[in-house]
Amino acid sequence: DAGVIQSPRHEVTEMGQEVTLRCKPISGHNSLFWYRQTMMRGLELLIYFNNNVPIDDSGMPEDRFSAKMPNASFSTLKIQPSEPRDSAVYFCASRPGQGEETQYFGPGTRLLVL
Amino acid sequence: AQSVTQLDSQVPVFEEAPVELRCNYSSSVSVYLFWYVQYPNQGLQLLLKYLSGSTLVKGINGFEAEFNKSQTSFHLRKPSVHISDTAEYFCAVRRTNTDKLIFGTGTRLQVFP
């Protein structure tokens, strides 16, 4: 099992550009979570999906952020337009299903917005 | 609302010494409790979890934690640490009726030779 796969691992972009982060959950997992990690705010849940349906997006900071999960094996987190304060490490995690409590984290995408 | 407090942002310790990383939580309802470890430039990995039953939970790499409901604590312990235990450790809490994990701010464990 390859684990949760995230791409790219590193992204450097300029303010105003669109950024798309990608995640492939572990095969067979039904839940997917997007987190953001910064020094100031620690680990924050942005949004999560159960069976490809967004359940709670209350952590999404503003309308510039959007997330989709078109199928069980792929999700994207998009920032448009990006700002320097979006610089952070973005983690994707998946979970086998409700009733199984462990979330499995990907290696993260380190985003730097100049 | 739930919250998680990790009182120590950094814990320096010598190799083979015991260590305790503190975690306190607040919640008015039943919760599940977790400890995750993050090695440099990696994602988080589950160390152990408390869902129900015995309050002493054993995890990977020789770590254990004890759930204390009266003190709303879930401290992580290891009797003898190794250099390889140097990492960031996160305590997390989840209400039993939700999917959301709330993380503490993390404790950086630095093990010296």
Tens of pLDDT, residues A42-92: 899 999 999 999 999 999 988 999 999 999 999 999 999 999 999 999 999
Greater confidence, A61 or A15? Answer: A15
Q: Are A68 and A53 in contact (CB under 8 A)?
A: no
What residues of B are in contact with residue A103 (Cβ under 8 Å)?
46, 101
Minimum mean pLDDT among A6-10, B91-95, B97-101: which range? B97-101
pLDDT at residue A1 in the model = 63
Q: How many CB atoms lie within 10 A of CB A106?
A: 25
**Residue A48 and residue A57: Cα distance in Å, rounded?**
7
CA distances from B6 to B25, B86, B93 (A): 9, 17, 12
pLDDT at residue B53 in the model = 87
β B107-112/B10-14 pair status: parallel
**Residue A20 and residue A37: Cα distance in Å, rounded?**
17
Do the Cβ atoms of B101 and A108 come within 8 Å?
A: no
Structure tokens at A55: 């359940």
pLDDT tens column, B17-40: 999 999 999 887 888 999 999 998
pLDDT at residue B3 in the model = 87
Do the Cβ atoms of A48 and B99 come within 8 Å?
A: yes
Structure tokens at A7: 């791409």
Q: Which residue has the tokens 């967004």?
A: A54
Q: Are B94 and B100 in contact (CB under 8 A)?
A: yes
Mutation site for A-interface testing, chosen from B44, B46, B49 by largest number of A Cβ within 10 Å = B44
> What band does B108 get if pLDDT is binned at 50, 70 and 90?
very high
Mutation site for A-interface testing, chosen from B3, B5, B99, B105 by largest number of A Cβ within 10 Å = B99
**A42 dihedral zone (left: phi>0; alpha: psi -120 to 50; beta):** left
pLDDT tens column, B46-82: 999 999 888 999 999 999 999 998 999 999 999 999 9
In this model, does residue A111 exceed pLDDT 80? yes
